Chain A
Amino acid sequence: MDWVNAIAQGILLGGLYALFAAGLSLIFGVMRLVNIAHGDLIVAAAYLALTIVQITGLHPFAAAIIVVPLMALFGYILQRLLLNPTLGKDFLSPLLVTFGLSVILQNGLLAGFTADSRRLSAGAIETASFDIMPGLTLGALPLLMFVVAVAVIAGLEVIFSRTSLGRAFRATSDDAEIAQLMALDHHHVYGLAMALSAGIVAIAGIFLAIRTNFDPASGPARLIFGFEAVIIGGLGNLWGTLAGGVVLGVSQTLGAQISPGWQLLAGHLVFFLVLGLRPRGLFPRMD
């Protein structure tokens, strides 16, 4: 029964990782940008949600209606003003810019919100759970996070495959210069991709804030599992990111069943194994 429970908890944990990773995966897929500040953006979104909840008194989930568009707008401006000028020349300069952004975000949040540990309260759903069978109890919040992660990724897939925006993303991703010849302004397309990513970041930020205490320095720890999920799943594949998150989550909880010290190690080992055997991930979609 322990093993069944471990696998179930691991799958739900995978939803969390996929939610943290979806925005990262999207950005990498469209513009090959590794966003080091992704974790700090999630924390910044959490603070934004906190501020809005404090001002309006809305439930954290309802606050998403305001937080998501605000973050998307911020993402668009960030891309147009800061990241676009660094793209294209080489791989390193955008990486360094996002690294700098990460430092600025952490210290800006510290100056604005102090080092206090904060949290958002979502009420009874935080501790609610469903008894599936004896020895297997699933938390309502992890379950909701998993469902939202699946919905976000399904939504992204629809945008990518069915809409003209998705066509623009794919075209720019394949060859930005040719896409430009077809009258696609790749600066604008990149801006929209970052806006979409920042919107997902906002959702991840709200869940982070409900899940546990956060402070301005909580960001970087969120990044590593996101990266691993993206790489295990395969670069450029959004469903792959979800699969990668689940593989990572399940290997961690199974590792913990063997010995608590193995929890993260097992995840890292699986990541390492995937890198060694299939360097492009389990379900790669791009060259």
Chain B
Amino acid sequence: MSQQSIAAGLSRRRLIKAGAAAAVLPAVFRIGPSHAADVIRIGHVAPLTGPLAAFGEPVPYVLQQMANRFKNGLNVGGKTYAIEILNRDTESNANRASEVTADLILRDEVRLLLAASTFETVNPVADQAELNGVPGVTADCPWQSYIFGRHGDPKKGFTWTYHFFWGLEDATATYVGLWKSVDTNKIVGGLFPNDADGNAWGDPDHPGALKQSCARNGFKLIDGGRFTPGIEDYSAQISAFQKAGVDIVSGVLAPPDFGVFWQQAAQQKFRPKIVTVAKALLFPSVITAIGDRADGLSTEVWWSPNHPFKSGLTGESAHDMNAAYEKATSRPWTQPMGFKHALFEVAADVLGRTANVDDPASILDALKTTNYASVVGLIRWNNPELKNICKTPVVAGQWVKGPKGFELVICDNSSAPQIPVAGKLRLLS
């Protein structure tokens, strides 16, 4: 009966929409033995289209891995459950993220919510989870943007939502560590656009942000001002940096903005010795697109094939996971993949330890006591100063052009000594 009414109620538009979505990715992955009577639904939210789509690129691969891993279902308290992963696209839009999450909670009644990739994705998902009392785990967004973006207090934390990633203090520490390893005049030019990331990195009053981090280590920051993202001309910043004799350029930019800046810098004969920029230089595709002038640029590294971690779920090391990804997709590895994978690892670990999967409070109890070795490092939420946050390591690396294309070589590990350093920072010519 219900089957019939659904079919009758399926409008042409919904059919087309469903068809279009299915062509890209199935919206629901039902995994597990077909005879398993009970199903655990997990909601996963990520940007698959729009400006943040590069972050969502590993999602189909990771979902496929999970489908293989859970083909026999998940054992919880001696009973086998089938796993249903409901994957939703935010279209890189925070409002849309909020909407799909509300649907996942209210209509699909998911037991657990997972989300990753920038504050635009993570914060709306976590807010909905918190509001509706559904356990939520998120990753891949500096904790400052996560806590302060949600008007939270790190000492009070949240009830239902937990997060793992690094913080600005770690990133700026490794940046400064990187710069200290070579000889410069210690004058840093900062490019901070007027958005959540730029305001956080450029905040002069935040001890973890770049200005104070520089000052503590004898570097001087020349702030390029809060310009609007998407400007087509950086001549004001470039001439200010030239006048101050800047040797090091840093900041947080979107890839096209960095592209405009870097080309204009060359045209204006501004040749810094070091360029360490967050966000813009994460993806190999961006570096390859910039070409020869990308050789020697540096950025933060949150995950790489050389991170000494193993997935507790599959036993795969970071190195093997990246190699398998490159083989399966013929595409270079990217940093967000480890965190997408780790989200599902944590989900499996938490659900496996849950006493009663029908009770959200019981899932939350298991989530709170997580102590799990994931492919991005140890996940546990036990820091009273940073409630609901687990810090994962971040180091700094330099893109080096080799015979097989660009490679990200880790050059500084001052904020995470457990990650091995593979080379020394080379100055830009």
Minimum CB–CB distance for A64 against chain B, Å: 20
Are B264 and A139 in contact, with the CB atoms below 8 A? yes
Say whether A117 contacts B230, CB under 8 Å. Answer: no
Q: Are B226 and A9 in contact (CB under 8 A)?
A: no
The answer to whether B225 and A252 touch across the interface, beta carbons within 8 angstroms, is no
Q: Specify which of A2, A9, A10, A217 is in contact with B51 (CB 8 Å cutoff).
A: A217
Task: State A16–B260 Cα separation when bound (angstroms).
Answer: 13
CB of B264, distance to nearest CB on chain A (Å): 7
Q: Does A110 contact B (CB under 8 A)?
A: yes
Within 8 A of A (CB), among B236-271: 236-237, 239, 255-260, 263-264, 266-269
B267 near A6 (CB under 8 angstroms)? no
Rounded to whole angstroms, the CA-CA distance of A107 and B20 in the bound complex is 11
Query: Is the CB–CB distance between A117 and B286 below 8 Å?
Result: yes
CA distance A139 to B262 in the complex (A): 12
- Say whether B237 contacts A13, CB under 8 Å: no
Instruction: Point out the residue from B235, B259, B286 that lies within 8 Å of A211, measured CB to CB.
Output: B259
Q: Give every chain A residue within 8 A of B224 (Cβ-Cβ).
A: 260
> Is there an interface contact between B289 and A129, defined as CB atoms closer than 8 Å?
no
**CA A264 to CA B268, docked complex, whole Å:** 21
How does the 8 Å CB contact mask read for B208-242 relative to A, with 1 for contact and 0 for none? Answer: 00000000000000001111101111011101000
Q: Is the CB of B235 within 8 A of A118?
A: no
Within the complex, the shortest CB–CB distance from B137 to chain A, in Å, comes to 24
Within 8 A of B (CB), among A238-255: 249, 252-253
Partner of B92, one of A142, A212, A217, A265: A217
Complex Cα distance, B239 from A226, in Å, reads 26
Residue pair A218, B231 in contact (C-beta under 8 Å): no
Q: How many residues of B contact A (CB 8 A)?
A: 42
- What A residues does B181 contact at CB under 8 A? none
Complex CA distance for A257 and B234, rounded to whole angstroms: 11
Instruction: Name the CB-closest residue of A to B51.
Output: A217
Quote the shortest CB–CB distance from B172 to chain A (angstroms). 21
**A126-B285 in contact (CB<8A):** no
Main secondary structure of the interface of B (DSSP, over half): helix
- A213 CA to B259 CA in the complex, in Å? 6
**Smallest beta-carbon distance A221→chain B, Å:** 5
**B407 contacts chain A at the CB level, 8 A cutoff:** no
B256 in contact with A249 (CB, 8 Å): no
Cα A17 to Cα B237 in complex, Å, equals 20
Checking B236, B259, B264, B266 against A6 with a beta-carbon cut-off of 8 angstroms, the contacting residue is B236
Question: Which residue of A140, A213, A217, A225 contacts B232 across the interface (Cβ within 8 Å)?
Answer: A225
A187–B358 Cα distance when bound, in Å, is: 64
- The reply to whether A212 and B259 contact each other, CB–CB distance below 8 Å, is yes
Chain B residues within 8 Å of A, Cβ to Cβ: 24, 49-51, 53-54, 56-57, 92, 194, 224-228, 230-233, 235-237, 239, 255-260, 263-264, 266-269, 283, 285-286, 289-291, 293
Q: List 23 interface pairs A-B (beta carbons < 8 Å), by A numbering.
A: A2-B239, A13-B233, A16-B232, A115-B56, A116-B285, A116-B289, A117-B286, A118-B285, A119-B289, A129-B266, A141-B263, A212-B256, A212-B259, A212-B260, A213-B259, A213-B289, A215-B51, A217-B50, A217-B53, A252-B232, A256-B233, A260-B226, A261-B225
